Amino acid sequence: MARDEQPTVIADVRESRLVILELRRLGADVREEAISPGDYVVGESFGVERKSLHDFMQSIFKKRLFEQVERLRQAYPRCCLVVEGDPLKIAALPNPSIFWGALARLITDAEVPVVFTPDEVHTALFIYSLAKKLQEEGEKVLARYKPKMMSLPERQRFIVEGLPGVGPRLADRLLRSFGSVRAVFNASEHLLAKVKGVGPKRAREIRAVIDAPYPGQARLDEIGRQS
């Protein structure tokens, strides 16, 4: 794309009308499509997820954030998260360290950049600027990006990342330490705690999830009678 041309942005049909209208006012060619995960596509396999500050904090406290980010990473080789709202509200949290700790993990473990904007107008300005920069470098916007098939090591890491407090880097470290997914799941709390980045508290949480019975579980003798 030449420097005097306007960028193309693909926006999810459910996205904020104000952001889309502002993108068009800036001159972007906005195409509205049903896309998931992600809210915007701005370059060659580059996805953007937009969250309000409230939704972002809820995702942290309900422990959904890293699962959502992993889906975004699986769909787009490059991605970023835009958090929209007044950052001064963070200071009013009962325990701000939880927020900043999750943000640190997001950047270091998941390796996903996080951009804070004060409102929808500035969100549109950031998305426009990002799309223009990428497309000036010759990237094209892919209307429908198909996630690549995961390799066996990627599948193994994905399974281990489902454990509490485990991101991509820690999943890799656990698999390298124990050798297989089965060995990670069979590891004792004591051995898990010895792995760098786990520690006693996270080891207890991991074992609690692995060992907890599933609600509504049928007994083996009942399964035998049903078969």
Q: Which two tokens stand for residue 99?
A: 């927020």
Q: Say if residue 73's pLDDT is above 80.
A: yes
Peptide bond just before 213 cis, omega within 30 deg = no
- Tell me, yes or no, whether 122 and 15 share the same domain: yes
pLDDT of residue 144: 47
CA distance 88 to 202: 30
Residue 167 near residue 69 (C-beta atoms within 8 A): no
Q: What is the mean pLDDT of residues 201-224?
A: 78
**pLDDT at residue 177 in the model:** 96
**Domain span at residue 83?**
8-136
pTM: 0.62
Number of structural domains found in the chain = 2
| 22 CB-side CA count, 13 A | 16
Stretch 200-215: mean pLDDT, rounded? 90
User: Residue 207: its pLDDT value, please?
Assistant: 94
Write the pLDDT tens digit of every residue in 101-110.
Answer: 888 888 888 8
* Residue found under tokens 């920069």: 133
Do 19 and 112 lie in one domain? The reply is yes
Does 59 share its domain with 157?
no
DSSP calls for 179-207: SSHHHHHH--HHHHHHSTTTHHHHHHHHH
Shared-domain flag, residues 88 and 184: no
Which residue has better confidence, 168 or 206?
206
pLDDT given at position 222: 59
**Tens of pLDDT along 115-128?**
999 999 999 999 99
* pLDDT of res. 188: 95
Residues 38 and 116 in one domain: yes
Confidence of residue 184 (pLDDT cuts 50, 70, 90): very high
* Better-scored residue on pLDDT, 109 or 150: 109
Structure tokens at 21: 């209208």
State the pairing for strand pair 46-52/40-43: antiparallel
Q: Are 73 and 113 in contact (CB under 8 A)?
A: no
| Closest to 43 in 3D by CA, of 120, 133, 125 | 133
Judge if 118 and 169 occupy the same domain: no
From CA 13, how far away is CA 39, in angstroms rounded?
9
Residues 103 and 45 placed together within one structural domain of the fold? yes
Tokens of 199: 């520690």
Residue that terminates a domain, selected from 78, 106, 136: 136
DSSP 8-state symbol, 6: P
C-alpha 94/C-alpha 106 separation (Å) is: 21
Instruction: Establish if 223 belongs to a structural domain.
Output: no
The amino acid present at 67, given as its one-letter code, is E
Q: How far apart are CA 154 and CA 145, in angstroms?
A: 19
pLDDT at 220 > cutoff 80: no
Percent of the chain whose predicted confidence (pLDDT) is above 70: 89
